[in-house]
Chain A
Amino acid sequence: GIQVEQSPPDLILQEGANSTLRCNFSDSVNNLQWFHQNPWGQLINLFYIPSGTKQNGRLSATTVATERYSLLYISSSQTTDSGVYFCAVVDSSASKIIFGSGTRLSIRP
């Protein structure tokens, strides 16, 4: 099955800093989604991005499907950005959704 790896596993930044989170996948996928899980466990869909670039406020994401990776950019970090960021892909051959192990982001005031 498809393997999904995220890096870095942990990231600690000061408020106002920028960050780049990476998601690599081992085979071609039909789509990719990014999620933010807040400290209370709630998972929020940030982007549905099979390919190309999307932006939503301070967040943007780029997926290069041919090279099997996606990047999530967070600019001017705020403490509310803290939490775990997951990427997820669809393994169509197995009809499964595969999540990465996440990047834990901590923003210090």
Chain B
Amino acid sequence: DAGVTQSPTHLIKTRGQHVTLRCSPISGHKSVSWYQQVLGQGPQFIFQYYEKEERGRGNFPDRFSARQFPNYSSELNVNALLLGDSALYLCASSLEGGIDSPLHFGNGTRLTVT
């Protein structure tokens, strides 16, 4: 079975632009969560979705938004990009609805904002 897949793998954007990152969970997993990892730090929790509803939110500005589709895939959107948004964005899926379930990560999208 395929693992968690994320696209694109790399992305370069300019300040002020908008970006959409995509994630497909492991087959049968209904929960998706998103993380931002800046170089040298641990992942920072952004959102968690289950059955298309937001179940958790980290300390990120409103420029960050997400949604989950009926097939359980998810998108993370970031508006008005800042240089500080440059990071590795990770998506994880889990079987159960709560955020206290084993997480399985994709390989990430590396975003560079210039």
Which of A43, A50, A97 is the one whose CB lies under 8 Å from B48?
Answer: A97
- A96 CB-CB contact with B under 8 Å: yes
**Chain B, range 72-108, C-beta contacts under 8 Å to A:** 88, 90, 92, 98-105, 107-108
- Residue-by-residue, is A27-38 near B (CB-CB < 8 Å gives 1, otherwise 0)? 000110101000
**Chain A, range 7-44, C-beta contacts under 8 Å to B:** 30-31, 33, 35, 40-44
Query: Once bound together, how far apart are the Cα atoms of A92 and B104, in whole Å?
Result: 19
- B8 CB-CB contact with A under 8 Å: no
Shortest beta-carbon distance from B81 to chain A in Å: 21
CB atoms of B56 and A97 under 8 A apart? yes
Return chain A residues, CB-CB under 8 Å to B107.
Answer: 40-42
Q: How large is the interface on A (under 10, 10 to 19, 20 to 34, 35 or more residues)?
A: 20 to 34
Q: How large is the interface on B (under 10, 10 to 19, 20 to 34, 35 or more residues)?
A: 20 to 34
Return chain A residues, CB-CB under 8 Å to B42.
Answer: 86, 88, 99-102
CB atoms of B58 and A45 under 8 A apart? no
CB atoms of A95 and B103 under 8 A apart? no
CB atoms of B100 and A41 under 8 A apart? no
Return chain A residues, CB-CB under 8 Å to B88.
Answer: 41
- A74 CB-CB contact with B under 8 Å: no
Return chain B residues, CB-CB under 8 Å to A50.
Answer: 100
- B55 CB-CB contact with A under 8 Å: yes
| Interface, chain A (partner B; CB < 8 A) | 30-31, 33, 35, 40-45, 48, 50, 86, 88, 90, 92, 94-102
Rank and list the top 3 A-B pairs by shortest CB-CB distance, nearest first: A99-B42, A95-B56, A43-B105
